[in-house]
Amino acid sequence: MGEPVVCTTVAGLREAIAQRVAGGAESLGLLPTMGALHRGHLEIARRTRAENDLAVVSVFVNPLQFGPGEDYESYPRQLEQDVALLAREGVDLVFAPDVREMYPDGTPVVSVTSGAAGSILEGATRPGHFDGALTVVSKLFTIMAPGPGVPFRAYFGEKDAQQLLLMQRMVRDLDHRVEIRPVPIVRSPEGLALSSRNQYLSPEQAGHALVLHRTLSALAAGELTLEQARRRVAAEPDVRLDYLVTVDPANLALVEPAPGTLALVAAWVGPTRLIDNMRI
Ligand code: PAF
């Protein structure tokens, strides 16, 4: 398989997409990422490749979605390694702009707001996070839209359940011509949901982090009440629970655990914030 073409400018990417579409590409799949790719991303990249004529992955650490004191500066950046991994998956184009290319005038004056659904759960602890993520993805959709008659699909992992729901909502509300395709969570053999931030964990912390998956599994199996599940996570050494709730997956409204509801958990393991979820 050939190396992907790496585009660093909006104009260059648009040109590359237009050429491929003119050359007969009949569909475009986009996997938006912030890089530091792991096996979870690569599974989504594989699906993006398999389901589309033209497979594009964006790699951009988006400053708008990081709050003060979060890990924007230290977020792992490893473009060369990411491109090599994507080459193995047969990805055609990598879009890797710098911050000035994406936001030439600095913080955009006009941006997407995530509303009430973006200010609960992750949004309560990370104010502005979803506004930033929606804004950059909205820009990516606009930049990459391949034009009428060419199906455009964007792939998002189910690990970020709230983000996925908000992306679906944005596409509906703003009439982006793109279909969102959710992809199931990929886990380590022990059950830890894969995340670029897992590389911050020491081996001991990675062991403690397994409490998230174990507790979700026990809750989903009806072996624990919600309160018992919260106590179990909170009792794990080096783990600080942010929230463990069950929601209606259609709108994130808090509900009692019941079949079809979605259990969401967020916790700090040492200084690293992790999230996970599971259908009950
Ligand atoms: O999920 C992520 O990695 C980011 O939020 C996304 C969708 C790439 C936007 O920056």
Pocket test for ligand 1, best of 48, 62, 122, 159 (most atoms within 8 A of CB): 62
Ligand 1 centre and the CA of 133: distance in Å? Answer: 6
Q: Burial, 11: exposed, middle or buried (Cβ in 10 Å; 0-12, 13-18, 19+)?
A: exposed
Ligand 1 contact via 114 beta carbon (within 6 Å):
no
How do residues 38-57 score in pLDDT, each as one tens digit?
999 999 999 999 999 999 99
Q: Which of 236, 246, 245 is nearest to 268 (CA)?
A: 236
How do residues 178-204 score in pLDDT, each as one tens digit?
999 999 999 999 999 999 999 999 999
pLDDT of residue 251: 92
Give exposure, 52-89, as e/b (b: 16+ Cβ within 10 Å): bbbbbbbbbbbebbbeeeeeeeebbeeeeebbebbeeb
Amino acid at 225: T
Q: What is the pTM of this model?
A: 0.96
pLDDT of residue 106 exceeding 80, the answer is yes
Distance between CA atoms of residues 42 and 57, nearest Å: 10
**What integer best gives the mean pLDDT of the chain?**
97
pLDDT of residue 1 exceeding 90, the answer is no
Ligand 1 contact via 34 beta carbon (within 6 Å):
yes
The catalytic residue positions are 41
Position of tokens 């710098």?
98
pLDDT of residue 2: 82
Domains and CATH numbers, the chain: 5-183 (3.40.50.620), 196-279 (3.30.1300.10)
Pocket test for ligand 1, best of 58, 65, 71, 77 (most atoms within 8 A of CB): 65
Structure tokens that stand for 131 in this block: 């506004």
pLDDT, average across residues 68-92: 96
Ligand 1 contact via 32 beta carbon (within 6 Å):
yes
**What's the chain's Rg over C-alpha atoms?**
19
Ligand 1 contact via 160 beta carbon (within 6 Å):
yes
